[in-house]
Every structure is written in structure tokens, then in C-alpha cells.
Amino acid sequence: MSELAIDREIDRSKMQVSDEVAIEITNMNKWYGSFHVLRDINLTVNQGERIVIAGPSGSGKSTLIRCLNALEEHQQGSIIVDGTELSNDLKNIDKIRSEVGMVFQHFNLFPHLTILENCTLAPIWVRKTPKKEAEERAMHFLEKVKIPDQALKYPGQLSGGQQQRVAIARSLCMMPRIMLFDEPTSALDPEMIKEVLDTMIELAEEGMTMLCVTHEMGFARQVANRVIFMDAGQVVEQNEPEEFFNNPQSERTKLFLSQILGH
Amino acid sequence: MSDVSFVRKEMLPEKAPPASEVGVLGWIRHNLFSSWLNSILTLISLFFIYYVLSNILSWTFESVWNANSLSECREIMMATWGDTHGHACWGVIKDRWLQLLYGFYPPYPAHPDATWSNPPETGSWPAYFRPNLTFVLLLVAIAPVLFPKAPRKLLYVTAAYPFLLPWLMWGGSIWGPLMVAAGFVIGYIAYKLVISAVGSLTALILAIVLPLLWWLFAAGPVAGAINSAIPLGIEPVQSRDFGGFMLAILLGVVAIGVSLPIGIVLALGRQSDLLIVKYLCVGFIEFIRGVPLITLLFVASLLLNLFLPPGTNFDIILRVMIMMTLFSAAYMAEVIRGGLAALPRGQYEGADSLGLNYWQAQRLIIMPQALKISIPGIVSTFIGIFKDTTLVSIIGLFDVIGLTNGIRADTAWNGVYWELFAFIGVLFFVVCFSMSRYSMYLERKLQTGHR
């Protein structure tokens, strides 16, 4: 399918994986009704890791990262994010959500608020940041994603790529320690995918801990330090990108890679 | 070599459209005379409009204003046009317009014997000062809510209005409404004081229970005690004197103003994960929607007294207000639920993923959008309940419709129908049409380029 060439040197000086654990998932299971979507997931993510989760559609990869900030509820096992265990306690859930940024396939910007208000809303209401400070920070991140001049427009007036970059800036305004990306480029025109990937690469260069569900194998190859392949709700294979692409072990991975890269 | 090869050397410039597509002539041809059939239909419609308008206009304007009875009207008509058909007798409106507007509300409450044509001699407020002031204050109070350009300080008037309205209209001691208002202050202070010590849920319960206790047991005696020490008040007016279009506005404003927040709460309750809350809301909405308003009004006027302790005097207008509000709230809840259902799930997830809690997400993200989507339905419900206020004539209140019967009971105006109902129709049309135009203005204003 897509292996968009990344045509620039990636600065790896700050891309360091520390020993500190960011996310720890142990024996996690999830069902939708009687359908077993996630089966015995065990995954430890260290601070500074950039993980790409790949797999065919319906394999549970989106569900997995949506469990990490409790958009979906898991029924068994434990998820510990940044030292806080995800349980039914609403306080824990709100705390984790404010530490973990999330970018969606369909952006999920708030259409009734301007770009700037989209970015300042959560800092002002959740973090109790003074309005002025929140606006300054929002402008800082909007400059980073290269759309400061759109700050007073509404999401509906922006292109898809611009909207997705605003969504990234909106998450960053909460100063998260971990960023989750749920197919961030799947709803975009080919011309716009690159600008969003560039923003994600810059984020990786700054040492952000990232979990990305994506079909952009070029991004996986160049930026990720680990690729996880899922099928039928379970982790089938995980490896460093070099090994994963050049020397896949399981038959299922080989088939997937041959279909996704094979033309 | 290949025939399919083509490369454009320069881009084409934009050209002006042909004359038949633009301008007045283009529009007329396009919309009125685009084919033979359409041309014929256009001509027939124009003739029909002319026919209806010419009759209505001549009835309206070739009319009699100066007459004190229907028979006098007819004499003048015979003398002027030679027949009594096709001419309005506006004399009845000239004679009874005050009654149609204010019912039997005393023009000078402090001087019960004075009338409009016979004002009291000593200095007094102008006639109908209190209802007129209440109406002007209503406009002031809703201005900052309706128009963002209005000065924000007017919101203080808006906050005070729910207490000013009953005091100005019914009169009596000022301490009663002030003590009711004090209940809200007590709730607020209690919430602020204990929220840090106990959880927010306990604080919320306390903030509801304390004011309720205050209103039920303390507010009345306290207001009475203060009033006997410092009597401060205006002449009371009885509910039975309320009537006319004023009553429609009074009931309409209360029903509209209170049913919107209740409707929002019911709509949220119906979508709630808490099973008991959900089914209470569903049960309430389905019950109220399944019963005609007129039944609820009969319950308010006749049956409610059976359930109240003997001797309690629960004001009839207050009872009607409560029923109308509940009725309108049930419809409102369903309209808003439609708006909520139209929002994509991503909006909830976007709000959740940023760490906003339930109430923040509802207030900042979900409700502004759901209400915006529901504006046409909400305003329809408003207009509907405003017109339904005329049903109170059936339970014996003298609203405009009830008054027309009273006016016809007078021998001078026995047999007048059209003029009265035309006048009432115009009154209602002005208010309802304003609401409709405002909703269109609001929809345009809230349009932010999405969808």
C-alpha cells in the first residue's frame, strides 16, 4: 500500500529510550460482548520509545491503544500508565487522560470553537492554566505544527492535513508525557499525509514517547524503534524495524508485509 | 505520434456567464416562466394572491373605528358603503383593547376605584405601570442572553428577573421574593464551604437539600418577621384579575425560560448510564408526552387541590405555570436528545481524551453543539407552548380567548368574531414571527463553516 519516502535526515540525538517504564500492560483481555477482541496482551513501553502497531483491520490495534486512555474499558489484566493504574476510579482515568495525548483518525476537533480555543480549552479547564499563558503555549505549538496564522479560524475552514496538525498541537498543549496516534493519516489525501508525518517525526526527534497505529511503513522503518504486529486480537510478532521488515518470522507477518509492500 | 497526447500550454481565463443566467430578467425567466406550464401556473397564482389580498385589504381598511356598539357600526357601514358585509368593525378593539391586553389587572392597584378613563387625582404611577415595567424589564433581561453585543452588566438584571417578575406582577411584600432568592445564596455558600472538606457529590446534595429546607420551613416565617419589623412592599393583585395577552406572555415566558434547562437535564438523564435516573427521565417524558396538555391543565385546576392539605391556597396561575413548564420540558428533552444523537461519537472521545470530566465535556463541547443543531426544534417547541397558553381559557382563566366570550356577552358587541380574532392573531403572530426570525439569525451566527 503505502511506503511514503521520508526524504530528510532524521535527527536521532534526542531519540533515547530510558529505563523508566511509561506503560505496562499485563495479561490484558477485552471482550465486546462475547467477542474476544484483545487476548492476553503483555506490553511494556519505556519512556522515549516510538512504537508502531501494525496489522490488518479488525486485528484490535486501535482497540489496544484506546484502552490505554480508557476510551475503551478492559475486563481483565492491568494497565499501568505513568505509574497510575487504570481502574474504574474516575479520578485515575481523568489523571491519565490529561497525561496521555491522543490523535484520532478523524481529528475530532471541536467545530464550534476556533483553532486557538480548541488548543486552550483543556489547559484552561483541566489544568487551570491562566488564559493568557494557555494562549501563549497554544501559539507556541501551533507555530511548531506550522499553522499559527490559522489560529482564529474554525476547524471547518482548514484542510484535512491542517486539521490533523491542529489536533496534534491541541494534544501537546496539555504537555503530555505519552502520545497515542490512532491511524492519524488514514483519512487524509496523499498530498497531506506528508505534512502530518513530518510533524510526527519532529515530535519523535524531541524524544516523545509515541504509540502509533498506522499503515505508513516508511514511518515505521525510519522512526520507530519497535514494530508490533497484531492479528486476531493478539501480538503476533514484535521486533526492531530493520529485522521486522527484512526478516519477518511468522507466516502471518510475511503475508501481511507482502500484501502491504508487495507492489 | 500518439493521438491521445495533449499538454495544455496556458490555463483558461474565467468568462462572464450568459445574460439569461444572471440579473432580474434572468431570475424571472428562471423561476417564474421557465416553461409554458410554469408560466400558466405563475399567472393563476398571481391572480389568486390578488383575489385574496384585495378582499382582506378592503375588509381591513374600509372599516369603522368610531362606534360604541356593533349596531352602531352597521349603521355607519350602511350609510357609507351601502352594505354591512366586507367591512371590519374595529370599534370593538378601540373599545376593549386594554382588556384584551391586560385582562382585569387593575390599572392603578393602589386606587381600586380608579379606571383608565377615570385616573386617581393624586400623584400615582401611570396606568398599568407594573405590568408594563415587568415587560420592559423582560426585554432588558433577555437582551444579554439573546445578543452577545448587549452589555454584559445586564446579566445582573437577568439574574434578578425571576424574583422581580412575581413581585412586580403580584405585588405584596418585597421580603418574600428576597427570602426565596436567599435560598439560592445559601445553597451556593454551602457548596463553596464544604466542597473542599467532603466530595463534590456530598456538597452538591447539601447545596440542594439546605435551600429546600430553607424554602419549606424557614423562608416564610423569616419573611413575615422581617416584614412586620420593616414593612416594605406594593399593593397586592389577585391572580383572578390576571388575564388578556399579558397572561399569555407571563405563562409563555415562564414555560419557555424554565423548560429549556429542565429539558436539557431530562435529555442528559435519558442518555445516562445510571439506570434509575434514565428510567425516571424516560417515564416522565413519555407520560407527559402521552397526555394532552388540556388534561394536565384540568389536573392543575381541579384535581391538585385534592392532594394538598385542606386550607392551602396554591395559586392557580402558579399551578398552570408548573404544568405548562413540565409539558414543554418533556418535548424540549426529546428535541435536545435529537441534537445529542446527531453529534458524532468522536466529539465525546475528543473531550474525554483531553481529560475533561463529564460536566465539563457536556457544558463546553457537547451541549453548545447539540443545542445549535436543535435550534429549529427548540424554537418550534417555544412557539408551540406560547400558543398553547390560550388553552387556559378552558379552565376559566381570562386569557385573550376567554375574554372574547366575555366581550360578546356584552349586548353592545354581541356577534363580533372576526375583528377580535384578527386582533389576537396579529398579537400572537408578532411574537411568534419574532421568535422564528431570531432563531434564523442565531443559526446564521453560529454557522462556523462546518457541515
- Locate A185 and state its grid cell: 493519516
**DSSP symbol at B215:** I
Q: How far apart are CA B163 and CA B183, in angstroms?
A: 12
- What gap in Å lies between CA B322 and CA B297, rounded to an integer? 10
Nearest to B176 by CA among B109, B209, B222: B222
Residues 6+ apart with CB under 8 A from B194: B202, B203, B206
Q: For chain B, first and last CA: distance in Å? A: 48
Shortest CA gap A248–chain B (Å): 34
Chain A, nearest residue to B367 by Cα: A112
Residue A106 contacts B, CB cutoff 8 Å: yes
Closest CB to A112 among B354, B356, B368: B368
Identity of the residue in A90, A126, A155 whose CB atom sits nearest the CB atom of B354: A126
Mutate to test the interface with A, among B274, B354, B356 (most CBs of A within 10 A): B354
Q: What is the pLDDT of residues B104-128, one digit of tens each?
A: 998 888 887 778 777 777 767 888 8
* Interatomic CA distance for residues B207 and A218, integer angstroms: 58
Nearest CA in chain B to A90: B357
Could you say which of B349, B369, B450 has the minimum Cβ distance to residue A154? B450
Q: Tell me whether residues B360 and A126 touch, CB distance under 8 A.
A: yes
What is the C-alpha to C-alpha distance for residues A55 and A256, in angstroms, rounded to an integer?
7
Q: How many CA atoms lie within 13 A of B179 on its CB side?
A: 20
Size of interface A-B (CB pairs under 8 A): 77
User: Residues with Cβ < 8 Å from B157, sequence gap 6 or more?
Assistant: B137, B140, B141
pTM, two decimals, is: 0.85
CA–CA–CA angle B331, B332, B337 (5° rounding): 100
Residue B365 with chain A: CB contacts under 8 Å: 110, 121
- Please give the grid coordinates belonging to residue B182: 436567599
Chain A residue with Cα closest to B349: A71
d(CA B445, nearest CA chain A) in Å: 11
CA B50 to the chain's CA centroid: 34
Å between B266 CA and nearest CA of chain A: 23
- Residue B304's Cβ-count burial label (10 Å; 0-12, 13-18, 19+) is middle
Give the closest residue to A242 by CA, choosing from A263, A261, A259, A217: A217
> Strand A100-103 and strand A178-182: pairing?
parallel
Helices (H), B113-232: 129-146, 155-170, 175-194, 200-213, 219-229
Which pLDDT score is estimated for B42? 93
Q: E strands along chain A, which residues?
A: 21-32, 35-46, 50-54, 76-81, 84-85, 100-103, 178-182, 209-213, 226-231, 234-239
C-alpha B358/C-alpha A56 separation (Å) is 34
Instruction: Tell me whether residues A97 and B354 touch, CB distance under 8 A.
Output: yes
Which one-letter DSSP state was computed for residue A188?
A: S
Q: Which of A101, A108, A170 sits opposite B349 (nearest CB)?
A: A108
Chain A residue closest in CA terms to B447: A112
Burial class (CB in 10 A: 0-12, 13-18, 19+), B376: middle
Helix-strand-coil split of chain A, %, nearest 5:
40, 25, 35
3-state secondary structure of A179: strand
* Predicted local confidence at residue A1, as pLDDT: 44
Using CA atoms of A87, A90, A94, A95 in order, give the dihedral in degrees to the nearest 10: -60
The strand pairing partners of A80, in sequence order, are: A24, A85
Count of Cβ atoms closer than 10 Å to residue A39 Cβ: 16
Q: Which of A108, A126, A170 has the CB atom closest to B346's CB atom?
A: A108
ipTM for the predicted complex comes to: 0.90
Please report the pLDDT score of residue B217 as a whole number: 85
Q: In Å, how far is B346's CA from the nearest CA of chain A?
A: 5
Contacts of B176 (CB under 8 A, 6+ apart): B167, B219, B223
Q: Does the domain at residues B242-413 carry the CATH identifier 1.10.3720.10?
A: yes
How do A209-213 and A226-231 pair as beta strands?
unpaired
In angstroms, the separation between the Cα of residue B449 and the nearest Cα of chain A is 5
pLDDT tens digits, chain B, 451 residues: what are they?
567 888 888 888 888 887 777 778 888 888 888 889 999 999 999 999 999 999 999 999 988 888 888 999 999 999 988 888 888 999 999 989 999 999 999 888 888 777 877 777 776 788 888 999 999 999 999 999 998 888 889 999 999 999 999 999 998 888 888 888 999 998 898 888 887 777 777 888 888 888 899 888 888 888 888 888 888 888 888 888 899 999 999 999 999 999 999 999 999 999 888 899 999 999 999 999 999 999 999 888 887 777 777 766 778 898 899 999 999 999 999 999 999 999 999 999 999 999 898 889 999 999 999 999 999 999 999 999 999 999 999 888 888 999 999 899 988 898 888 999 999 999 999 999 999 999 999 988 888 765 4
- Write down the residue that cell numbers 356598539 correspond to: B69
Tell me the chain B residues in contact with residue A89 when contact means C-beta distances shorter than 8 Å. Answer: none
- Integer Cα distance of B222 and B216 in angstroms: 11
pLDDT single digits (tens) B160-183:
999 999 999 998 888 888 888 999
Residue A225, min C-alpha distance to chain B (Å): 25
Q: Quote the cell numbers at residue A140.
A: 507556541
- What are the sequence ranges of the domains in chain B? 51-88, 172-234, 242-413
How far A99 CA lies from chain B's nearest CA (Å)? 8
Give the position of cell 474504574: A88
Please report residues of B whose CB lies closer than 8 A to that of A153: 449
CA count, 13 A, side-chain hemisphere, A111: 20
Interface of B with A (CB under 8 A): 344, 346-347, 349-357, 360, 364-365, 368-369, 372, 446, 448-451
Cβ of B355 and A121 within 8 Å?
no
pLDDT tens for each residue of chain A, 263 residues long? 456 666 677 888 788 888 888 999 999 999 998 899 999 999 999 998 999 999 988 889 999 999 998 899 889 899 999 888 888 777 788 888 888 999 999 999 999 999 999 999 999 999 899 999 999 999 999 998 888 999 999 999 998 899 999 999 999 999 999 999 999 998 888 888 988 998 999 899 888 999 999 988 888 888 899 999 999 899 999 989 888 888 888 899 999 888 887 65
Distance separating alpha carbons of residues B360 and B183, to the nearest angstrom:
25
> What beta strand segments (E) does B215-301 contain?
233-234
What three-state secondary structure class fits A77?
A: strand
Q: Where does A47-186 show beta strands of DSSP type E?
A: 50-54, 76-81, 84-85, 100-103, 178-182
Rounded Cα gap, residues B346 and A98, in angstroms: 17
Strand partners, A35: A32
Interface contact A112-B356, CB threshold 8 A: no
Q: Is the Cβ–Cβ distance between B396 and B301 less than 8 Å? A: yes
Helices B400-409 and B244-270 sit at what angle, rounded to 10 degrees?
Answer: 150
C-alpha cell at B147: 445578543
Beta strands in A149-252, from DSSP E residues, in sequence order? 178-182, 209-213, 226-231, 234-239
Looking at residue B451, its pLDDT comes to: 44
**Measured between beta carbons, which residues in chain B are less than 8 angstroms from residue A69?**
352-353
Cα A170 to Cα A187: distance, rounded to the nearest angstrom: 18
How many CB atoms sit inside 10 A of residue B93's CB? 18
Closest CB from B344, B364, B451 relative to A121: B364
- Most B CBs within 10 A among A104, A112, A121, A170, hence the mutation to make, goes to A112
Q: Which helix or strand (DSSP H or E) is residue A25 part of? A: strand A21-32
Whole-number Cα distances in Å, A212 to A7, A58, A179, B23, B256:
20, 16, 8, 56, 49
Residue of B251, B88, B244 whose CA lies nearest to B166: B251
Residue A104 has its nearest CB partner, among B346, B356, B446, at: B346
